[in-house]
Amino acid sequence: MLPTPEITFHGAAGTVTGSCMELRVGDQRILIDCGLFQGSRTLETLNREPFDFKVSEIAAVILTHAHIDHSGLLPKLVAEGFRGRIWCTASTRDLLYHMLPDAGRIQEFEAARRNRRADRADEPPFEPIYTEADAISAYEQSHPVDMEHWFEAAPGIRARLWNAGHILGSTSVEVDANGVHLLFSGDIGPEHKAFHPDPDAPTGFDHVVCESTYGDRIRDDITIDERRQLLFAEIQAALTRGGNLVIPVFALERTQELLLDIARLIETKSLPNPRVFIDSPLASRATDVFASHADELEDVEGGDLFRIPAFHFVASVNESMALNNVTGAIIMAASGMCEAGRIRHHLLHNLGNRHSTILFVGFQAAGTLGRTLLDGAERVRISGRDVAVRAQIRRIDSYSAHADQDDLRAWVKAREPIAGSLFLTHGEAGSIETLRRLMQADGVAQSVVPPQIGERFALPKGEAAKRLSTGRVDLHPEVARDWQNDYAEFSTGLKQELRAIQKAADRREALHRMREVLHSYQDHRRRHKH
């Protein structure tokens, strides 16, 4: 009798990031994705924990696409002994050539930066999760495969890749696991997205795993031309204010979509002589990959579109710092959620300027600096410094590379019949719960399951999935905001609140009472332990 496949969710379960699923068939194990957790500091610490599986037992990885929350722990996997193939599309592999080493350099840079901070002088040295050398080794284990062609990932596990319409090279993964028919959505793009045809995949599965990033949101159905007009209005308003327009971008896809739209606006004379600085070496290299794959992309006629005189690709740190002296310009910098990279430098320089504008064009996970700014924070903490928020904070939703609620429902229905279970992953709790209720009402599967990190399920053919072990309940309160988010919010507002107390003696009394609360709590905890 053939063994029943089992699946364990190691990430992107009750969270948006950290995509990693382990599929086991008998003694064969593969991973679908191996991504980095991004968000609150507590969530990010999961990247430093040991893998919850034996690395030496993993036969292969199938990678849905190159985004770091799907690929960013591959270097750690390789550093800890993984020697199998990383299967992906050729264009995904071309992107990994740049993205993985860049991720390794960021790990090394961020570790060095934290160790230089005065407020960490009495703490143990901070080590990078992996190095650039580890990342290069991971790239060398990647192996390209054509779309819609079956390949054997491991004995008894066949797979083929389908266009997911999310970013260049992105796929959904169809798997035949000893006769059990599975589908992993990866990240699904919206209909009529720039560059890519609409998502596609076969019909009729035993179990389907589907992302839920925008499961609680229906976006306005607008054309690419209408989206460009929204962007034009934001650029015009921002530059009229006299300051810079700073756009936190994801180096891959979002940058190229914005450049496409700005180029079209320049061509039509809507934007005369703008200065556009792309301050992300990775975005520059990713743009080169897009240009080299121009014949595969919709809306692009040749790669020269990305190399027009208005676009200035910033390479060195000194060139980046020199942008402090620029005003009335468009500055695009990574990272998209403002958690690392050069964008934090530009936020430090522009957030306090009433004439500047910060424009968000992508998803901001709970607990990130980007989400904090969008939620209306008046002060934020960046690299140990308190910063007042006086700049205009704006948002355009229509650049999202993710399907919204209607798109996700349509994609799942197009996969019917689903004989067993539908798993909803890659989303925050509210998004997943909203989509779960709708999918349950739609009757698309025997059960609709929102798995948690660490949960393991049997995947029988033609029947609902069966839970074999529970997940990590300790993570539930911390996957969005954590105590460090609360501390940053409290500390940035503390000085202002103390100033509101008129007498200096009363301010000292307030501080004294706060210390007393902390000491009394520590005493309570000590007594409780005994």
- Topology adopted by domain 224-395: Rossmann fold (3.40.50)
> Which amino acid is residue 195, in one-letter code?
F
What confidence tier does 463 reach under pLDDT thresholds 50, 70, 90?
very high
Q: Choose which CATH entry (3.30.980.10, 3.40.50.460, 3.20.20.70, 3.60.15.10) describes domain 6-217+401-478.
A: 3.60.15.10
pLDDT digits (tens, 9 = 90+) for 413-462: 999 999 999 999 999 999 999 999 999 999 999 999 999 999 999 999 99
Q: In the chain, what percentage of residues exceed pLDDT 90?
A: 68
pLDDT reported for residue 409: 97
pLDDT reported for residue 239: 94
What are the sequence ranges of the domains in the chain? Answer: 6-217+401-478, 224-395, 483-519
Helix (H) or strand (E) holding 133: helix 132-140
pLDDT reported for residue 195: 86
pLDDT digits (tens, 9 = 90+) for 199-250: 999 999 999 999 999 999 998 888 889 999 999 999 999 999 999 999 999 8
Strands (E), 236-367: 245-248, 276-279, 311-313, 330-333, 357-360
**Mean residue pLDDT across the chain:** 91
Residue 106 has pLDDT above 90, yes or no: no
Residue 473 has pLDDT above 80, yes or no: no
524 backbone dihedrals φ, ψ, rounded to 5°: -60, -45
Residue 276 has pLDDT above 70, yes or no: yes
Residue 191 has pLDDT above 90, yes or no: no
Higher pLDDT, 159 or 112: 159
Exposed, middle or buried, 88 (CB in 10 Å: 0-12/13-18/19+)?
buried
Same fold, 6-217+401-478 and 224-395: no
The pTM is what?
0.85
205: Cβ–Cβ under 8 A, 6 or more apart, which residues? 181, 182, 183, 415, 417, 418, 419, 420
Least confident of 17-26, 185-194, 207-216, 345-354: 185-194
Longest Cα pair distance anywhere in the chain, in angstroms?
80
Higher pLDDT, 206 or 400: 206
C-beta of residue 187 within 8 angstroms of C-beta of residue 12 = no
